[in-house]
Structure 1
Amino acid sequence: MKIIVAGTGYVGLVHAAVCSEYGHVVHAFDIDRQRIDAYASGRAVEIERYVNEPGLSQLIKESVGKYLFFTDDLASVIEGSDVIFLCLPTPANLDGSTNLTYYNDAVHQIAKLLAARKDRRRVVLVDKSTVPIGTARHLEQILQQHKVENFGIASNPEFLAEGTAVSQARKPDRVVVGCDREEDFKILRRVYSQYVNHVRIKYIETTPETAEAIKYVANTMLLTYISFWNGVGARIGEKIDNVNIEDLRRGVTADERISTWGSYVSNGAGGSCFGKDIRSLIYQLRQVDVNTKLLESSYEVNEYQKFYLIDRAISEVGFTFSGKRIAVLGLSFKKQTNDIRDASSIKVIETLLGKGVSQIHAYDPLANAEARKEFNVQRNILFEKIS
């Protein structure tokens, strides 16, 4: 099959690379020429400047020029495409709603090209990024507005965790596909043929709206679980004498109904998904008059946890940060990635700067370069190995 992946950030790049591994011809499109050139080089040092994910650069190196191609010229590859995956940025607005500006601009561009194509074979446009419930209908309206013929729309959310994305994309827990028509389900079954009727992997076909909702509910449940352990488990171990937090964790999760995942005390969950997605779901539910107190509490506990260590040092030990040199070890929001989006380390550094520290020595084996970009005007932060 001929597949186009629009957007080569974390989601798009992993999806394009893994689809090419299964023998599909994949054209990954992005408007950023430098990014495209870096990926097309097949060199790990260039690829990992943008996305540092275990196994990804090697997979791209093996596939590029054979089944995997990179382009900043969408018009040159649009003819003959069977599926177009939309892996586009969907940042949050201040009120928690999802900003679809990038999405809308890209979809209008794609629609114009599809309307002018010579090949009239059926093409399915698929939302891969996390988008508000009902966005697939919005996509359909844009395509109709441009008088695109013989198309289908679908929602196929990604469930990847950074640091293990390639292995998860190869062997997912489930594949969720939301369509309206059987002919579109058939096309996507061809894309994911290795997963249909798999003995372990759940292949779920549903409506586009349900597929969109599955992603939001899944991420919200995961964040709520993390917040529960930080807000309840950690506080019990901290405030009540003779409670061993590790024994508490092992005893609770010995129940097969309760996951060990997320059952640890942390500085709060970061990354590009959890915080953004729960705020978006809160916004969407408020629009239909649903009580969101549980979700709001989950989000607030997670945000509070990012500042908790500094607050404890001040309130319980009386530590004064002003004029001190501070070390911060670990910058990415989780291990095995260079992604610092919404990382607790960034909140910690910003707080320390506000408390007048004289210098911060920060280090992460993968994320130093990204952190330098975040704090490029701060002369009192050193991103280097600490010895």
Structure 2
Amino acid sequence: MFDAFGLALLLMPMAGAVGWYLRSRVRSPESGPAPNTDYLQGVQYLVNDETDKAMDVFIRLLEVDNETVETHLALGSLFRRRGEVDRALRVHQNLVARPNLDHKYRNRARLELAQDYMKAGVLDRAEGLYLELLEQGMFQDVALASLVSIYEKERDWERAIDATRRQEKVQGAPEPQRLAQYACELAEEALWQKDNKTALQWTKKALADDRNCVRASLLEGKAREAADDAKAAVRSYRRVIRQDARYVVEVLQPLKRCYAAIGDLDDWLAYLRELAQPDAPPAVQIALADAIGNGQGVDRLADYLAHTPSWTAFNHLLELNQTELPEPLAAPLATLHAALKATLASAPLYACQHCGFSGRAIHWQCPSCRRWASMVPVSDVAKPGLSPVAGGH
């Protein structure tokens, strides 16, 4: 259905056409030429509810100059909002190609054309137009924000860093978190290529921008482990907990692995005891129970559950006690355990603090709202039978 704004734009030339037509009915033959038949054809299309054809006619008849350019720009923007990108492109390309237009109008048309290309997914052409605008010092806020978006989609992280640095200068507002995430993306690429030295260089740059960047410390730890430097990896992983204790679940297994590599499991147990405060996540309590062992771990976990409900910890307690359950309870608890395991297997492990998206894998850029570093570990799962946060996979 054609919206009110588009109809209003159509009615302006239509009103002129109708007025022209009516004047021709009452004036003498000597008074001038007959009304433009193309206008009347456009009116006929409107009467027949063929608004698309009518629009094409009126656009063709509307001369492009400094007085009518605003109408063309509005029409092009309207087309893009309606999803008619091809028409928006034609309107804005026509404006850009007009040498007689005022400089400011041509640049506005370039901006609109770049946004058309963005909508159409033609990122290279959009990028070229935004760079032209930047060279002329025009629309820098919009151009830089759009370039950052393009470079993110293309995973061109170094150019994303450059554009963000320029954006910081224009806006006068720092973007440390985003810059750190771009550096982390480059560190991950280096790790995939087994280039630990380059990975460490990028994690260093990430921490220079954002000293609380959990992801940078995690990647630094991975790079240290890959370089067989377990002691340095321990320092990196322990820094994660100081930066944001919610991410402790991400480093428990790597820390255990590193302490084992350096032959210091006693220090690992002491560190777990230090972490296992009453408000610590269930994962810490489970790790401590496993490290204690010899039945004492079961007692420790049972004491924790006595004052802190946790499905994750309860499931682990059932796993530790499978062979020691009294006969009358063995069958019903086995059924409960199976149901609980199924729930845990599909429950979300991470949730975005901004939009609520959840899933079982961590995304450093939320797939839903595109925020960086907004997804955090879920400390425990929902009760069996309750739906997870909307948007989960």
Report the TM-score, using the length of structure 2 for normalisation: 0.27
Which has the larger Rg?
Answer: 2
Q: Structure 1 or 2: larger helix share? A: 2
Report the TM-score, using the length of structure 1 for normalisation: 0.27
